[in-house]
Amino acid sequence: MEQAPATPETEKEKRRKWILLIAMLLSLAVLITSIVFLARIKGWVGGSESSSLLSIVDDDTAAPEDQKQTLSFIDDEHMVDERCAAELEALLAACRGAGFEPIVTAAYRSASEQRELFNTLADSYMEQGADAESARRMAQKKIPLPGHSEHQLGLAVDLADARGDAAEQSGLWDWLSSHAWEYGFILRYPEGKETVTGHGFEPEHYRFVGTSAAKQIRELDLSLEEYVSMFYSK
């Protein structure tokens, strides 16, 4: 069967389709380039932080037993992982510059210290009449089991204003929620994410994840669990 001879109309239609295809490919290339550029200027790619800074420790997942840490004193009593010590010092200095009197109320805590803290609370419930099993369950609602506290990582701190006034505490926590990410810290248990984190809102508890990850988590309004699941799950 002989092919119908090309007509000006069919040639025009072919050119139109080719032009449309080329335009679509160019648009796609521009879109991809724009996304990559946006990701770079926002710091969404190319982060240099180790994934070990993003370890999840919760009621179901214990802190790594073989984790090696180098700890640094942040004050006379509290220590943190040296990877976040300088950033924490800078964060506390910025807090003071904003008119607050920040103090660290909790930082690194060993498994044995966590066990002692947990058992003390459980014993207090038993002294109030609870049996051993009930006392343990009640204690677990307030204090993680030994090995299941973020404080064991040395990357988590609880912060408060030394003046102790409720308004001062609220002011400090509001400031931290707006600025802590600049120093690589995130509000670990934010309000509205309780079903994801498994924890109630804790305005005083901050976790170091590195500046790149902290920026992404803030801009995307994610919890650490959501961030790890989105960017690091296989």
User: What pLDDT shows up at residue 38?
Assistant: 43
What are the E-state strand segments in the chain?
A: 71-73, 79-81, 102-106, 156-161, 185-187, 205-208
User: What pLDDT shows up at residue 31?
Assistant: 55
Tens of pLDDT, residue by residue over 103-155, are 999 999 998 998 999 999 999 999 999 999 999 999 888 888 888 999 999 99
Task: Decide if pLDDT at 35 tops 70.
Answer: no
Contact 216, 227 (CB under 8 A): yes
Between 56 and 67, name the one with better pLDDT. Answer: 56
Most distant CA atoms of the chain, gap in Å? 100
Please state, in angstroms and rounded to a whole number, the distance separating the CA atoms of residues 152 and 25: 52
The phi and psi torsions of 149 (rounded to 5 degrees) equal -105, 135
DSSP assigned state of 182: G
Between 48 and 172, name the one with better pLDDT. Answer: 172
- What tokens appear for 22 in the block? 């080329």
Look up the pTM and report it: 0.76
Tens of pLDDT, residue by residue over 185-227, are 999 999 999 999 998 999 999 999 999 999 999 999 999 999 9
What's the rounded mean pLDDT across residues 37-41? 41
Tens of pLDDT, residue by residue over 155-165, are 999 999 999 99
Please state, in angstroms and rounded to a whole number, the distance separating the CA atoms of residues 119 and 113: 10
User: What pLDDT shows up at residue 29?
Assistant: 62
Alpha carbon 119 to its chain's center? 29
Question: How would DSSP label each residue in 127-168?
Answer: HTT--HHHHHHHHHTTSPPTT--GGGGT-EEEEEETT--HHH
Tens of pLDDT, residue by residue over 2-34, are 555 556 667 777 777 777 778 777 766 655 544
- What tokens appear for 217 in the block? 């988590």
Tell me the C-alpha to C-alpha distance, in Å, between residue 167 and each of 25, 103, 115, 160, 176: 57, 16, 33, 11, 14
Contact 152, 110 (CB under 8 A): yes
Please state, in angstroms and rounded to a whole number, the distance separating the CA atoms of residues 184 and 217: 10
User: What pLDDT shows up at residue 71?
Assistant: 96
Task: Decide if pLDDT at 42 tops 60.
Answer: no
Write the secondary structure of 41-62 as one string of H (helix), E (strand) and C (coil): HCCCCCCCCCHHHHCCCCCCCC
